[in-house]
Amino acid sequence: MNSRMMIEAFKGGAGGIVSKTISMEPARDRRPTIRKGACRGLYNAETWSELPKERMIEELLRVKKEAGPLIVSIGYTPEQLKELGKLIQREVEPDGIEFSTHYVGRSIQPLLECASALRSAVDLPIWMKVSPTVLEIEELAVKVSPYVDGFVAVNSFGPVLDFDVENPEPLLGSDYGAGWLSGPAIQPIALRIVYQISTVQDKPVIGVGGIEKGKDAVKFIMAGASAVQVCTGAIKKGHKIYGKIASEIEEFLDKHGYSSIEDIKGLYSKRLKQRRLYEKTPAMWIDSEKCTGCKACINMCIHSALYMEKDKAKVRDELCIGCGFCMDWCVYGAMELREEE
């Protein structure tokens, strides 16, 4: 990612930019490095910036001069983070530093050492970018929180492997064709981790993972995020996606009567506490006035608990296990779970 691309992101409506990760030596990634992936996502075999750190500093200075808030991503070991952190703070003076944990491991101790090392080296705000494969995410968040000013959740997921059965050759240039999955496919994982981090400590969380429209961003904010990042969506749809997402967030807030982002931040956690838990196994109930007889639910019941009678869906209570799957296919709102009296 060079300065031109970062500046174009600002022009497209981004509120800030996070650079590609800088390490001590430029990456040497074998092509191909990015391919179309499953579930509208992408596979990538990129590691970090292929530009030397000296060249990246030149690019970042252009961005700082011509655009808005700039966060510089660096990696990876404690020693590298200390050296790079001092260098970036001195030469670039960005608005903050994000450090990647992608190649550090999944255990808490080495990640804690990275955060501590960087904190000792810089006075700038620090964001920790969390891998979706980290173990004990809540414990990590609590222990790292004193050293950072925020968390970014999550990085791409992997390694993963995919190929075309008609031509079973590697899609990527990595050792055995494996890569990292990003985009909508990892959004549920990212939402879970955003929720977990935001509920066990007070530092802000930036949500990232499969955000391509305003409602995606709203979902992350409801899960507890204070802001969001977009990468795969911009690769697929161009830099204008940033402004489009921002406009769609505003439209959602206006439509639902919210005055600001703060009104929806962490809303999921509040609703979770209000959730009613069934003491007995519930059964599906169908509102015959709303049911159109479309049979969508009939085809989805794997327990044969639904049947048609006079063009209306009916329930065999003795076969219904109350799983709830069928009601997700009713677009008319005719189905709900009810506990036996």
Please give the tally of structural domains in the chain. Answer: 2
The alpha carbon of 32 is separated from its chain's Cα centroid by a whole number of angstroms, namely 24
> Which residues, at least 6 apart from 273, have a Cβ–Cβ distance to it below 8 Å?
none
The answer to whether residues 60 and 12 touch, using CB atoms and an 8 Å cutoff, is: no
pTM (2 d.p.): 0.95
> Which residues, at least 6 apart from 197, have a Cβ–Cβ distance to it below 8 Å?
130, 137, 138, 141, 151, 153, 205, 224
The secondary structure of residue 122, as a DSSP letter, is -
Q: Is 277 a domain residue?
A: no
Q: What is the CA radius of gyration of the chain?
A: 23
The CATH number of the domain holding residue 331 is: 3.30.70.20
Considering the domain architecture, whether residues 157 and 244 belong to the same structural domain is answered as: yes
Mean pLDDT across 233-249 = 98
Considering the domain architecture, whether residues 323 and 226 belong to the same structural domain is answered as: no
Range of the domain at 14: 3-271
Q: Is 278 a domain residue?
A: no
Q: Is 276 a domain residue?
A: no
Q: Is 207 a domain residue?
A: yes
Considering the domain architecture, whether residues 257 and 313 belong to the same structural domain is answered as: no
Considering the domain architecture, whether residues 288 and 263 belong to the same structural domain is answered as: no
The CATH number of the domain holding residue 163 is: 3.20.20.70
Task: Please give the Cα distance from 235 to 248 (Å, whole number).
Answer: 19
The per-residue pLDDT for 1 is 74
Considering the domain architecture, whether residues 304 and 204 belong to the same structural domain is answered as: no
Domain end call among 238, 271, 304: 271
- C-alpha to C-alpha distances, 37 to 163, 185, 188, 192, 338, nearest whole angstrom: 10, 9, 17, 22, 40
The pLDDT-based confidence of 341 (bands split at 50, 70, 90) is low
Q: Is the pLDDT of residue 120 over 90?
A: yes
Considering the domain architecture, whether residues 53 and 190 belong to the same structural domain is answered as: yes
**What are the tens digits of pLDDT across the range 296-339?**
999 999 999 999 999 999 999 999 999 999 999 999 999 999 98
Q: Decide the pairing of beta strands 205-207 and 150-153.
A: parallel
Considering the domain architecture, whether residues 295 and 255 belong to the same structural domain is answered as: no
Considering the domain architecture, whether residues 233 and 295 belong to the same structural domain is answered as: no
Residue 209 CB neighbours (<10 A): 30
Q: Is 305 a domain residue?
A: yes
**Strand extents, DSSP E, the chain:** 17-18, 34-36, 42-44, 70-74, 96-100, 126-130, 150-153, 157-160, 179-182, 205-207, 227-228, 283-286, 306-309, 312-315, 335-338
Mean pLDDT across 52-81 = 97
Q: Is the pLDDT of residue 29 over 80?
A: yes
Domain end call among 213, 239, 271: 271
The pLDDT-based confidence of 272 (bands split at 50, 70, 90) is very high
Q: Is 115 a domain residue?
A: yes
Structure tokens at 247: 């406009």
Domain end call among 239, 271, 303: 271
